[in-house]
Structure 1
């Protein structure tokens, strides 16, 4: 695998490589593909081609993390039972079968040829896994005369064979069932799969052709032809062309190739002559890349999850943070494990592996006992949540926080030696430092926002207190004047003015009342009544005195709209004020209300406010409802009137539209849902 990792590192270091360039290097090795896809298994939204899916995942991973990933494999193989030459043998055979499967899929018009490539690439991953983690697998390979004999020995020894294991590993990557089934059956007898899914026959035929290249067995060629319906002579040409193309591509990547390695995957390559390599520089670089892989604090949690898989070979951890006030380790909130934050482990707990890791500042393992939950229920329960019978606890600390990262780690799994413990500590320290910095920044920002909010509330309450006094005085004097009036029309206007003062007073009080955002008063409005009241109260001041004609068309029997009266008045007054400022003397404002309009899937009230003023330029229309986007010809405005109108309308389920052209006036349309009838 060292050669594959070196090719990947070379691609990453070559100027500014594209994600496709990097993807092609990763696709050379099924183990690299497997590790990457475990970080984000394939799904329904992924592109059809594997290279594109790999490129998409690379695009979201820090370049330093990718370099660290390749360096990890340059430095150390997990158990080192499979050497560089043996791994190259398996990888080259998988590439050869993948290319043969792709060409056979194209030749037989299989509708998803990239599935055939994927099946070929991953079909012997289980063989690599068994060779790495099973003590006696090498002897099984030495004793087997061919792959089917090897599979029979595997069934007898393990209760499954490498093809079945490969299918399971492919399924974990998110490959579809058709690919997993083809992998599981790729070494079956040809007669037994002749009626199977086409992809099963394609992969089995590709495996036969790979074997034919080494053995020149007529039976292999005949089986491949029988499975695919392709003539033998054409298959021979396909084998030669595929082998030649693969050899040229690998030479271009400076990877050594032995033609015999393209044939049988189960043949045991000798690794005795493999030279020792000085990896001290690579180890130093790996530490540097690992520490620098979390530069973006906002992506640190996602980066930690990916780094756990790529750099450490472990599933994503959960974090426990020390509660300094009570000396507990408390689970950090995690959407994957709801309720984790309610799990608290005393630091003094002498039976908890988490607590001991924190106290001793060293890695600790937890393993389920013969009779659960054992001496520490919290550790046992956490292992159950993480779907593992063991835990690996890595302590961390930084100037902001301290705690423990808990990785699921099966009790029979050896999480690496040599460089691995130091690398786990380095990655955990780097990731948690960024996470702690982000939490500290968020806490600082939250404290600042709360401080500003408190100052605003105090300021608003002072303003409300000061404003309520003159409003009370004005209302008192209006009442005194009203008592001396005999004109009924004038008394009605005074009553409307008194109501408006009450509305203004209510708005001022709400500005300083943050105890509730629930509006008080009626939740629906009599639109016609409000329009007539506003014309009576503001028609003279806003329009008549400026020589503007105000025309109102609102039948008295309109149904109520689902918006509170105060909110509707605020909306209309803003529109009236803007119109009065825009319409020249002699102009006209027309306001109309019509019920029963269907808008946004519901029955609505439509209110139209139309003027024949100068209109608005197109660039002003684009920012009309944007806060602080003031018109250049109206100095002194705050620029919040129309955004407030829009917010009020949409808050109650309505819609507001504006149409205007220079020289042709402006039209506002408001669609408000009708109030539900009792």
Structure 2
């Protein structure tokens, strides 16, 4: 395979891609709508090769993919999440505007865009016709088959633009790319997809799409589909061709796919119609220019330098422009849930805006003594192990953090000495050098952004360092605001907790007195009963329940709640006691049939006696309220049930009622928001929490004809040291 020269590789690593403004604008509008579905966003991404390549690259990065390859657009959007996609979309728009206002040459991408979509549509149709299992994979390969052209244009710039200008078509472009650049757009496109580490031949298909018919005959099926789609897309008036008039490549496509000319022509015509409809929807007017690659159109003058010769005025106008462009970015950054999410969004934004690949962060620790790496996904592992002392500022990193201006290891006269710890940062970033950009909020410094760069990359971004400083400031302000909001929430929580504790102590005091009186009275009544009276046992159960209520009430005032100690509990005895206390009120008086099927000599479990009572009470009460006259409730136990990691006692509470409502099953063991008076769904939430706390498992089966709760509690012998 042809290798990419180092200078070209260095230039394209930033994946600086131009975008069709119409499709990017539509994507911005849709992604900003909270009601937009993933399918709507995915449809738009599929219509923009640059956007598709950029989002798939981010989603397949080590920080995002979490060991799982991402090939579908829907999966990509779900992985990134709406907030991050919205932030990235804003960055892509800002990047496009910045390039335009910075005086960069503009290009017409209409032919490129329509050609990419046509090849994608034809490839998908071919895949479906020949029953290839990956039609979406074929579409993706078609959409990105010429993405290398945009990468070279974004990375190499004017020198590649010169090749585009003197190329009449894609074949002519390919013929001069190799001799001039030492590589071509097919190799570069394949290199990009290879970085995603997919178990797919998408990269090979892109690499081979300009090979000869004789060579492609020995390639994989996806490569043959893409090659054929590319050939067919370049044949005009295909529907009027006869077998004798068709070019040799067309005959090769027929042979590869096993399709006849009429079938291929129908696919080609349909793709033209589909792309024309899309172009009209986006307000894109097809041009008469037959070129399918970008070509230079207009060069916009720099509105800053052209408007005024006064350098100070030019800087002021530049700052105003940057602030207006970055305002939406600040809004999107602050929309992320926490500081870690903000930093990840800032890193991905910097990669897009400034063409960076290696970006990291160091934050000032709470004691204001050290720079340390925040714990976010994608940070270089060695960076996380560094602690850089701030005072005295003996490193370039510390000097930059406390100062106002960026600095780099490439500077001839940096504001501070490049120390050994700076060299460690360079090594941690796996780069030739680093650029430090101070992150200052409104109240002072919070850290630095680190950009790992080569010498060539540093030269390329040197004219954007001022803008990078503005970006770092906006990121710092957003993080600072997030922290302040967190402090306010903590203070509010502390205030509410103090107020709650005071009220709880009053309630405990007032409730404790009558409960103590009732408990003492029950003791007196019990002493008056004959020794063999069954009433004494029932009164003892009542006294235990009063003790349990007292414990529950007292726990309201404890903010430092610790898990209760585990006991050896006789499940059958607890069930018998609960039924003796509540069986008549819950079931007999309501004419509900109660059945017990308790296994004899049941093993003891490790748990909380009061906790087991509480969860059983909730289940019995819920069943009582849900069942009607002559319905049945069965409570049963089984011993030594093997489940995954050991042996358990099983408790089943099954009823013949109507089953649980849909909203309960949707959020089982979570509190419900419901309009039913007196019902909040807290009972089941408490049951789930108690079972989990005792190291058990709980499941529920409810299909409209009864409900069964199955609880597994670990045997005491599994937990005890003995």
Q: Does 1:320 align with 2:320?
A: no
- Superposed, which structure 2 residues align to 1:380-459 within 5 Å? 380-399=423-442, 402-411=445-454, 412-414=456-458, 420-450=464-494, 452-453=496-497
TM-score (norm 1): 0.70
* Distance change (3 Å), C-alpha of 1:348 and 1:89: farther
Q: Does 1:333 align with 2:375?
A: yes
Alpha-carbon distance, 1:13 to partner? 6.3
* Distance change (3 Å), C-alpha of 1:306 and 1:78: farther
Alpha-carbon distance, 1:168 to partner? 0.9
Q: Secondary structure at the match of 1:517?
A: coil
2:27 touches 2:89 (CA, 8 Å); kept in 1? no
Query: Once structures 1 and 2 are overlaid, which stretch shifts more, 162-171 or 241-250?
Result: 241-250
Alpha-carbon distance, 1:183 to partner? 1.4
* Distance change (3 Å), C-alpha of 1:209 and 1:449: same
2:346 touches 2:475 (CA, 8 Å); kept in 1? yes
Aligned counterparts of 2:707 and 2:477: Cα–Cα separation in 1: 56
2:87 touches 2:345 (CA, 8 Å); kept in 1? no
Alpha-carbon distance, 1:172 to partner? 3.4
1:108 touches 1:228 (CA, 8 Å); kept in 2? no
Aligned counterparts of 1:247 and 1:555: Cα–Cα separation in 2: 73
Residues 645-670 of structure 1: CA distance to partner in whole angstroms, max 9, x if unpaired? Answer: 665456432659899x9xxxx99977
Query: What residue in structure 1 maps to residue 715 of structure 2?
Result: 675
Residues 164-218 of structure 1: CA distance to partner in whole angstroms, max 9, x if unpaired? Answer: 221011333576631100111223333233211133234334555567769x9x9
Query: What residue in structure 1 maps to residue 7 of structure 2?
Result: none
Aligned counterparts of 1:389 and 1:480: Cα–Cα separation in 2: 86
Aligned counterparts of 2:24 and 2:617: Cα–Cα separation in 1: 67
Query: 1:346 pairs with 373, 386, 389, which one?
Result: 389
Residues 322-370 of structure 1: CA distance to partner in whole angstroms, max 9, x if unpaired? Answer: 346434323222133368665332235656443233233122234699x
Query: What residue in structure 1 maps to residue 251 of structure 2?
Result: 225
- Superposed, which structure 2 residues align to 1:509-524 within 5 Å? 517-520=562-565, 522-524=567-569
Query: What residue in structure 1 maps to residue 179 of structure 2?
Result: 153
* Distance change (3 Å), C-alpha of 1:526 and 1:14: closer
Query: What residue in structure 1 maps to residue 326 of structure 2?
Result: 287
Residues 385-404 of structure 1: CA distance to partner in whole angstroms, max 9, x if unpaired? Answer: 44444433322222466323
Aligned counterparts of 1:73 and 1:676: Cα–Cα separation in 2: 66
Aligned counterparts of 2:593 and 2:41: Cα–Cα separation in 1: 70
Residues 404-434 of structure 1: CA distance to partner in whole angstroms, max 9, x if unpaired? Answer: 3424442131475598434433433333333
- Superposed, which structure 2 residues align to 1:252-651 within 5 Å? 253-255=283-285, 257-262=287-292, 265=293, 274=299, 276=301, 278=303, 285-298=324-337, 300-301=342-343, 303-315=345-357, 317-323=359-365, 325-337=367-379, 343-348=386-391, 352-366=395-409, 375-399=418-442, 402-411=445-454, 412-414=456-458, 420-450=464-494, 452-453=496-497, 517-520=562-565, 522-525=567-570, 527-528=572-573, 530=574, 557-562=600-605, 563-570=607-614, 594-596=637-639, 604-606=649-651, 647-649=689-691, 651=693
Query: What residue in structure 2 maps to residue 36 of structure 1?
Result: 55
Aligned counterparts of 2:225 and 2:712: Cα–Cα separation in 1: 62
Aligned counterparts of 2:112 and 2:452: Cα–Cα separation in 1: 27
Aligned counterparts of 2:709 and 2:153: Cα–Cα separation in 1: 73
Query: 2:219 pairs with 179, 187, 196, which one?
Result: 196
Aligned counterparts of 1:550 and 1:58: Cα–Cα separation in 2: 51
Query: What residue in structure 2 maps to residue 115 of structure 1?
Result: 137
Residues 142-169 of structure 1: CA distance to partner in whole angstroms, max 9, x if unpaired? Answer: 7999466446526xx64x5442221011
Query: What residue in structure 1 maps to residue 309 of structure 2?
Result: none
Aligned counterparts of 1:137 and 1:481: Cα–Cα separation in 2: 99
- Superposed, which structure 2 residues align to 1:171-182 within 5 Å? 171-172=194-195, 177-182=200-205
Aligned counterparts of 1:300 and 1:379: Cα–Cα separation in 2: 25
* Distance change (3 Å), C-alpha of 1:174 and 1:8: farther
Aligned counterparts of 2:40 and 2:708: Cα–Cα separation in 1: 54
* Distance change (3 Å), C-alpha of 1:416 and 1:487: same
TM-score (norm 2): 0.66
1:86 touches 1:269 (CA, 8 Å); kept in 2? yes
The gaps in structure 2 that reach 5 residues or longer are 1-16, 305-316
The gaps in structure 1 that reach 5 residues or longer are none
Aligned counterparts of 2:701 and 2:113: Cα–Cα separation in 1: 64
Alpha-carbon distance, 1:73 to partner? 1.6
**Corresponding pairs, count:** 649
Aligned counterparts of 1:417 and 1:510: Cα–Cα separation in 2: 60
1:401 touches 1:436 (CA, 8 Å); kept in 2? no
Query: 1:167 pairs with 173, 177, 190, which one?
Result: 190
- Bigger Rg, structure 1 or 2: 1
1:5 touches 1:74 (CA, 8 Å); kept in 2? no
Aligned counterparts of 1:56 and 1:604: Cα–Cα separation in 2: 40
Alpha-carbon distance, 1:519 to partner? 2.8
Alpha-carbon distance, 1:527 to partner? 2.3
Aligned counterparts of 1:429 and 1:575: Cα–Cα separation in 2: 55
* Distance change (3 Å), C-alpha of 1:278 and 1:22: farther
Query: Once structures 1 and 2 are overlaid, which stretch shifts more, 396-405 or 353-362?
Result: 396-405
* Distance change (3 Å), C-alpha of 1:619 and 1:251: closer
Alpha-carbon distance, 1:222 to partner? 0.8
Query: What residue in structure 1 maps to residue 146 of structure 2?
Result: 124
* Distance change (3 Å), C-alpha of 1:567 and 1:47: same
2:433 touches 2:452 (CA, 8 Å); kept in 1? yes
1:225 touches 1:235 (CA, 8 Å); kept in 2? no
Give the RMSD, CA atoms, in angstroms: 6.2
1:388 touches 1:408 (CA, 8 Å); kept in 2? no
